[in-house]
Amino acid sequence: MNHFPSDIFVDFNVVSIPTKTNFRGITNREVAIFSGSEGWSEFSPFVEYSNRESSTWLRAAVEASNTPWPHLYRKSIPINATLPNVSPEKVAGVLKNFEGCTTVKIKIDNFISGAELVEETLNILPGTKIRLDVNGSWSLDEALLYLYDFHLRFGNVFEYIEQPCTSFDDLVKLKSEIPMKIALDESIRKNLDGDLSDLAKAGDVAIIKWAPSGGFASAHEIANTVCLPVVISSALDTGIGISHSLALAGSFENLDFACGLGTVALLESDICEPALIPTQGFLDVNRVEPNFALVEKYQASEDRQEWWKNRVADIWKEWNL
Ligand SMILES: [Mg+2]
């Protein structure tokens, strides 16, 4: 085993928190937390991510624990609700965790089941703005067909469609055909070593994430390169990670959209008290600390603690080579 840098990762601990709904096939979310000179941070790439991809998350985590936050233009961030691909009867239960949010992002697979979720959401929250997130899973033909159907059925309720296709060329064609805006997530996050300067041809909005971007400085560099309005979003972080994402949202001079930072609501519990779930559709930007009773309650097993320490030690060594 490589040496674990305990001087950098002070008070290192791993929690495992059950999710309320199946999100990306995950029923328990494992997250490592630690502190540094500036405060607490979180390292939580999904367990199947490679060391290479995870090293970007580790850079973000260490930057946030040891470097002051960037200048903040605002201290309160508008938040969108996030609706996983659940069955329609579960929609109301999920949405009630997002009090006051007037934008709902819905994860969908296709038109038929997606339309049920849109319809149920609009029944519960009439007049809400809808975002669909496809995670790049449609071909160009599917995207054209489905989005045409969505537009015919629901009209102008869509704020944007997130990553309908994967390929850059397909997105460029789609953008010229559909009446909705396109937001780019995987096109940015899974392509950080590629050329991002052309992306405005393929989309209208850039989804920027704190940890997958490599932290504050790197996220701003990416946003400057992509040159599109930004939406700051998260994966499935605890309040510790969310606090840094909120600071990132606060550090952009222009923020025209609600941000996808209410996802603590999809976990059984936060490890911060109070939990970082939106009230009246907003979350405030503050440094936060874990509540140690909650950390103890959700503490991961010895085996998993060791696994995460090894993961950090391996990535740390590779990264310092
Ligand atoms: Mg997405």
Tens-digit pLDDT string for the chain (321 aa): 789 999 999 999 999 999 987 777 788 999 999 999 999 999 999 999 999 999 999 999 999 999 999 999 999 999 999 999 999 999 999 999 999 999 999 999 999 999 999 999 999 999 999 999 999 999 999 999 999 999 999 999 999 999 999 999 999 999 999 999 999 999 999 999 899 999 999 999 999 999 999 999 999 999 999 999 999 999 899 999 999 999 999 999 999 999 999 999 999 999 999 999 999 999 999 999 999 999 999 999 999 999 999 999 999 998 774
Give me the catalytic one of 20, 107, 129, 309. Answer: 107
Parallel/antiparallel/unpaired status of strands 76-78 and 282-284: antiparallel
Helices 216-226 and 51-66: crossing angle, nearest 10°? 110
Supply the pLDDT for residue 26. 82
Supply the pLDDT for residue 25. 78
Distance CA 213, CA 64 (A): 13
Q: Which pTM was predicted?
A: 0.96
Domains of the chain: 10-69+293-320 (3.30.390.10), 76-290 (3.20.20.120)
Supply the pLDDT for residue 321. 43
Q: From the CA of 186, how far away is ligand 1's center (Å)?
A: 7
The distance between the two most distant Cα atoms of the chain, rounded to a whole number of Å, is 59
Give me the catalytic one of 20, 105, 129, 209. Answer: 209
Q: From the CA of 54, how far away is ligand 1's center (Å)?
A: 18
Q: Among 74, 110, 113, 92, which residue's Cα sits nearest to residue 259? A: 74
Q: Is 209 a catalytic residue?
A: yes
CB pairs under 8 A, 24+ apart, for 90-97?
Answer: 90/21, 91/117, 91/120, 91/121, 91/124, 92/120, 92/124, 94/20, 94/21, 94/265, 94/266, 95/121, 95/124, 95/125, 97/20, 97/262, 97/265, 97/266, 97/277
Contact between 207 and 233 under an 8 Å Cβ cutoff? The reply is yes
Distance CA 91, CA 113 (A): 13
φ, ψ of residue 165 to 5 degrees: the values are -130, 170
